[in-house]
Structure 1
């Protein structure tokens, strides 16, 4: 399959499809069709690409395309695949990170190749996501007949392919969540703490974001363990105790979150030799985890 030919269709025109379609269009890749349960979504994306004729019904999209990208919610993948009449020689590829390829069994039973193509990027703003795809990774799972086509698609988009083995998707997606959306409650906690002494939310966020960026830059340069900083990495028991005293005064949930995040950081500090055994024991005691064995994975 040559990606220069108009044989790619999207079924589902939400934010992920919008970003991918924009990026492919800008790389000169012609699309065959855009379809959605909500026809207005397909029409809007087709208009954005300057090709209103791309918008059509889902079954017509299948008739036009060889490679069909299912950009629908996870819970709708299986029912969408079951509702369509697939043919041998087609490829049914979902864009989910967490859903196994078994959700595409209806397409496989009809003779289509099945696969997964999950861009590892944030899609809250499709235009920005389209610009960020190049240089990002994409998780690919497919059989030997389809995998070269998905690798070619990744290459056109400038993405780094990450091959997923069967049965790993839930762990893969959970890990991605830790690196992305799970950062948000931690940052929100930091903002709330500053609000408690009178800093407005916008000012707090403006002040804290450079720390976030600096940490990410340090990880990129020196690795996770090499980027460790703060009182736990220094074995500063007194500072940690003062943190906990202040947080307990605000409410036990604040101190509980601090303790939960501090323990794995202490494990990393020990693994890198930043914190000696005596300091680690004192920190465990301050954190209320006497006798707890720490993970020192690294």
Structure 2
């Protein structure tokens, strides 16, 4: 039997990775068979290029969820947490954030020596696995910066995602290399930055959905049907987002704030309800700061006064 340290050496030395289908490989087990667990498992199986890496199966408190995940990934359904822990060398705890600690309380009583224990929370750190060092295991938070919305299809685009990693330092390079060999870029993040990083992701993802919904509802107030509003906004939103991603926020900014159109902004404020106006003002204050960086010769003092 090859030891885990020898397997780690294999991973470090491997120039190419493809999914293992037998023999000596890094055995990866999942606790939690929801969207994230299934998507990550499928991603590993489809994108791994290392013959020393393989997903072995899923455990979930819902046996039907574990069975579905095992069927989708053609791996094993585990009905016993102890057995999964014994069989795995890397364990992903892919449950909801508020359940990770309780899973850890059970997991730490099992044989986890020399194993990698990971969760995929965006906001929680590896410290969630409290006292993991005393169990001679290695704790990590590994977060794909990606909106996993469907367990059947999201894995197909996971290769586009950047993964952030935080955790035990001495073996961090091994986990980093494991993710890189899936074809993903990796950014190592400090424990103290994790919550701010996750909040940044909320601004770039969830808030975009919220703003789109407000825009659609306002269009509907003006007589558009829902589908008409979507069609009308699609080229505007798509072009704007593509421009931001390609050229940055300063080069992409247009509109009344950027061109210093004070009168139009005042009219906008009068046309909005209280909640819309509050959001409009908060966002516009930030747009002014972008506009000032973009147009250093323009005087935005009157515009700034509107939002004080």
TM-score (norm 2): 0.86
1:145 maps to 170
Deviation of 1:149 after TM superposition, in Å, equals: 2.6
CA distance in 1, matches of 2:131, 2:88: 17
Deviation of 1:214 after TM superposition, in Å, equals: 1.1
* Equivalent of 1:64 in 87, 91, 98: 87
> SS of the counterpart of 2:192?
coil
1:207 maps to 232
* Equivalent of 1:162 in 169, 187, 205: 187
After superposition, the C-alpha distances for 1:126-152 in whole angstroms (9 at most, x for unaligned) are 333211111310010122333123212
* Equivalent of 1:96 in 121, 135, 138: 121
Note if contact 1:138-1:159 (Cα within 8 Å) is conserved in structure 2.
yes
Structural mapping, 1:261-276, within 5 Å? 261-273=283-295, 276=298
Point out the more displaced range, 222-231 or 268-277.
268-277
> SS of the counterpart of 2:74?
coil
2:98 maps to 75
1:296 maps to none
> SS of the counterpart of 1:10?
strand
CA distance in 2, matches of 1:66, 1:102: 20
RMSD over equivalenced CA pairs, Å = 1.8
2:244 maps to 219
1:16 aligns with 2:6: no
Deviation of 1:40 after TM superposition, in Å, equals: 1.2
Aligned length: 282
Tell which has more relative contact order, 1 or 2 (C-alpha 8 A, sep 6+).
Answer: 2
Note if contact 2:284-2:307 (Cα within 8 Å) is conserved in structure 1.
no
* Equivalent of 1:87 in 91, 95, 112: 112
CA distance in 2, matches of 1:217, 1:58: 45
Unmatched runs of 5 consecutive residues or more in structure 1: 290-298
Unmatched runs of 5 consecutive residues or more in structure 2: 1-7, 12-18
After superposition, the C-alpha distances for 1:33-77 in whole angstroms (9 at most, x for unaligned) are 2111212111101111233x3433222111101100110111111
Note if contact 1:91-1:112 (Cα within 8 Å) is conserved in structure 2.
yes
Deviation of 1:108 after TM superposition, in Å, equals: 3.0
TM-score (norm 1): 0.89
After superposition, the C-alpha distances for 1:231-275 in whole angstroms (9 at most, x for unaligned) are 11111112212212222xxx2222221111111001110122267
* Equivalent of 1:246 in 257, 266, 271: 271
